[in-house]
Amino acid sequence: MNSSRSSGPADVARPVAPSFSPLDEELELLPGSLSPTLHQAVVLLGASMSFRQVRPVVRLLGRVHISASTICRLTERAGAGLVAVEEAMVSEIERTMPDAPVGAACQQVSVDGAMVPLRGGEWREAKTAAIGELAITQPGKTQSLSYVSRLQDHERFARVATAELHRRGTFVADQVVAVVDGALWCQGFYDYHLPNAVRVLDFPHAVEHLNQAGQVCFGPGSAQLSEWLGPQRHALKHGDPQTVVDAIARLPVESAADPHQAAKIRDQVHGYLQPRVAQMAYANFTAQGFPIGSGIVESANKLVVEDRLKGAGMHWKEEHVDPILALRCAICSHRWEELWPAISKQRRHAARRSVSRPPMPLPDPIPEPEPTTPASLLPSPVPKLPMFVNGKPTLNHPWKQTYQSSSQESVASIPKT
């Protein structure tokens, strides 16, 4: 220690801020007190079941007591890390425009939405894309599925899906079949990514519209409806779809219980299906081994979204939905082990950035307030009298005052004779 150094407030050492040792990175330690393996297990469980259900599992397997709020926080932060990783992938693809890897030659891409309950009673649509390869030995069957899901508008969702479509080699596949319902945002997704895809209107969706037009004319459950709907459904699947659309235009609405309403519904159905006749060539699609149903994305709505986000009593903050959906996609796409190292690395870097920020400057000392009493009312200062003169104590010195007062008290105590 240097003794020549002066002491004072400027020499007081600042408290040491939290930091990360290089060994933390080598051991892949994450923020918090959990081991890397247990941390990963908590996040995996938190993305798979309700946070309260995770507690007894962790207590049983890890002999650790963790609150539901801690499980929630760890899960959502890991999910936010995965969202950041995937956003970075998209930005890198857009910046460098790399060659897409070669994937399956024939693929199916289907998109759809499912409603998610938010806090405050609001419901929002989570959009999901399901991507798979068409099985050669089983026509119409799609396998090796992977998913992208976000609670975003259609433009942002289409951009986020870029990374997974690139990874699967969908952009360079020989044939892509887009089976979907007729929603405009779904069609816009293919316009943006896969304009050359073979577009197929989901067959059950088309039959639903066909049934709607028949019911309003013949009545639900009536014999006339069955006599009309059965042949039309068969013709739609195995024949020329234009003949079915023309049959809708000829429905006898004048004999319906409400002719005006029947005519309105009939015209709406006809106006919906007529522009999509080319997407209803089901006989041709089936002959080529293409699927005609969007079951892969309808299953994804349940598997990825609803099984985790629509439990009894669940209501989510909007900013927490995408992190959970990202983790759900990693699990349901069987990519958890592949993606966890990237999640872990992102979390360590985020924690390092948070502790490497410069400390907040100390606030300036608050000056003492000036007296508010007017100077004219303040008492006059008492003059300070000398206590020593020529080295001897004066009567003003405390010693003299004490001695004098005690002498006077002694004299006063002597009785007069």
Each residue's pLDDT tens digit in the chain (417 positions)? 444 444 444 455 555 555 555 555 555 566 677 889 999 999 999 999 999 999 999 999 888 899 999 999 999 999 999 999 999 999 999 999 999 899 999 999 999 999 999 999 999 999 999 999 999 888 889 999 999 999 999 999 999 999 999 999 999 999 999 999 988 999 999 999 999 999 999 999 999 999 999 999 999 999 999 999 999 999 999 999 999 999 999 999 999 999 999 999 999 999 999 999 999 999 999 999 999 999 999 999 999 999 999 998 999 999 999 999 999 999 999 999 999 999 999 988 877 766 555 555 555 554 444 445 455 555 555 565 666 666 566 676 555 554 444 444 444 444 443
**What is the biggest distance separating any 2 CA atoms in the chain, rounded to whole angstroms?**
149
Q: Radius of gyration (Cα) for the chain, nearest Å?
A: 39
Cα 285 from Cα 267, distance rounded (Å): 27
Query: Looking at residue 186, which CATH number applies to its domain?
Result: 3.30.420
400 located within any domain? no
For 23, residues 6+ apart whose C-beta sits below 8 A from its C-beta are none
The total of structural domains in the chain comes to: 3
Q: Does residue 304 share a domain with residue 184? A: yes
Pairing mode, strands 142-150 and 175-180? unpaired
Q: Does residue 188 share a domain with residue 135? A: yes
Four-residue CA torsion sign, 247, 271, 300, 166: positive
Q: Does residue 147 share a domain with residue 38? A: no
Q: Does residue 216 share a domain with residue 194? A: no
pTM: 0.77
Cα 206 from Cα 212, distance rounded (Å): 10
What is the side-by-side order of every strand in the sheet holding 106-117? Answer: 142-150, 123-134, 106-117, 175-180, 198-201
Inter-residue contact 326 to 157 (CB < 8 Å): no
Q: Does residue 109 share a domain with residue 50? A: no
Q: Does residue 161 share a domain with residue 301? A: yes
Residue with tokens 């892949």: 28
Q: Does residue 198 share a domain with residue 208? A: no
Q: Give residue 223's identity as a one-letter amino acid code.
A: A
Inter-residue contact 304 to 332 (CB < 8 Å): yes
Residue 296, classed as helix, strand or coil, is helix
Q: Give residue 297's identity as a one-letter amino acid code.
A: V
Cα 276 from Cα 241, distance rounded (Å): 9
Closest CA to 173 of 122, 202, 112, 131: 131
Inter-residue contact 104 to 173 (CB < 8 Å): yes
Q: Does residue 220 share a domain with residue 75? A: no
Cα 74 from Cα 386, distance rounded (Å): 74
Cα 294 from Cα 145, distance rounded (Å): 13
What token pair was written down for 207? 């039959």
Query: For residue 374, what pLDDT is reported?
Result: 53
Q: What are phi and psi of 192, to 5 degrees?
A: -75, -45
Range of the domain at 168: 104-202+293-316
Cα 173 from Cα 381, distance rounded (Å): 97
Cα 299 from Cα 142, distance rounded (Å): 12
Q: Does residue 166 share a domain with residue 150? A: yes
What token pair was written down for 192? 């943006």
Inter-residue contact 304 to 310 (CB < 8 Å): no
Q: Does residue 213 share a domain with residue 178? A: no
Cα 382 from Cα 351, distance rounded (Å): 63
Residue 54, classed as helix, strand or coil, is helix
Q: Which residues pair with 150 in a beta bridge?
A: 127
Q: Does residue 119 share a domain with residue 174? A: yes
Inter-residue contact 134 to 291 (CB < 8 Å): yes
What token pair was written down for 84? 């950041």
Inter-residue contact 304 to 329 (CB < 8 Å): yes
Cα 236 from Cα 217, distance rounded (Å): 19
Q: Does residue 193 share a domain with residue 125? A: yes
69 located within any domain? yes
Cα 288 from Cα 102, distance rounded (Å): 22
411 located within any domain? no
